[in-house]
């Protein structure tokens, strides 16, 4: 990742719950107090998802951006839908993908790039239970292997 990019938040559950097929970078239409909170790292993507409406607009829904304390009464609603800034062709591609069965769009991480908040989203297909178990087994095996190599040092 380039030096001028600072990752603010990641959706760690996304890789576990879904097969991530294709990634996109989207800008976020934010209010002033929201960007201040994001720069302070006060954002959560745990419950968030992306909604495409009528193939025209994409929105980040249920992402929690904590209210900025110094904004006083001019603050923002923490879970309001936020418009994603994408090219029309990209929105159409997302819209076509979402209409397939079992496919959704999940936010994977939020980062600051040249002072602007960017959201990485991915077209995702849900994993079945056996896929998740396989991932857990693989992760445990890697952890065990690392323990063994540390003991040998």
Q: Report the CATH number at residue 23.
A: 2.40.280.10
pLDDT in tens, 98-144: 888 889 999 999 999 998 999 999 999 988 888 889 888 988 999 99
Is there a domain that residue 40 lies in? yes
Is there a domain that residue 149 lies in? no
Distance, CA of 94 to CA of 91 (rounded, Å): 5
Distance, CA of 75 to CA of 30 (rounded, Å): 12
Is there a domain that residue 21 lies in? yes
Residues spanned by the domain of 98: 5-127
Is there a domain that residue 132 lies in? no
Question: Structural domain tally of the chain?
Answer: 1
Is there a domain that residue 30 lies in? yes
pLDDT in tens, 65-88: 988 877 667 677 888 999 999 999
pLDDT in tens, 7-33: 999 998 888 888 899 999 999 999 888
pLDDT in tens, 26-66: 999 998 888 888 998 899 998 899 999 888 899 999 999 98
Decide if 78 contacts 6 (C-beta within 8 A). no
Is there a domain that residue 118 lies in? yes
SS3 127: coil
Is there a domain that residue 112 lies in? yes
Is there a domain that residue 135 lies in? no
Decide if 27 contacts 14 (C-beta within 8 A). no
């Amino acid at each position: 990742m380039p030096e001028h990019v600072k990752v603010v938040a990641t959706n760690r559950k996304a890789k576990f719950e879904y097969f991530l097929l294709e990634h996109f970078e989207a800008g976020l239409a934010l209010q002033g107090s929201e960007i201040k909170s994001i720069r302070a790292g006060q954002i959560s993507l745990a419950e968030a998802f992306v909604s495409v409406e009528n193939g025209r607009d994409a929105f980040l829904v249920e992402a929690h951006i904590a209210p900025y304390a110094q904004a006083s009464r001019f603050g923002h609603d923490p879970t309001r839908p936020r418009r994603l800034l994408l090219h029309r062709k990209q929105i159409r591609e997302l819209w076509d993908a979402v209409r397939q069965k079992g496919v959704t769009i999940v936010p994977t991480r939020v980062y600051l790039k040249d002072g602007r908040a960017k959201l990485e989203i991915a077209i995702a297909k849900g994993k079945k239970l056996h896929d998740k178990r396989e991932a857990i087994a693989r992760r445990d095996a890697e952890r065990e292997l690392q323990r063994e190599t540390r003991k040998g040092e």
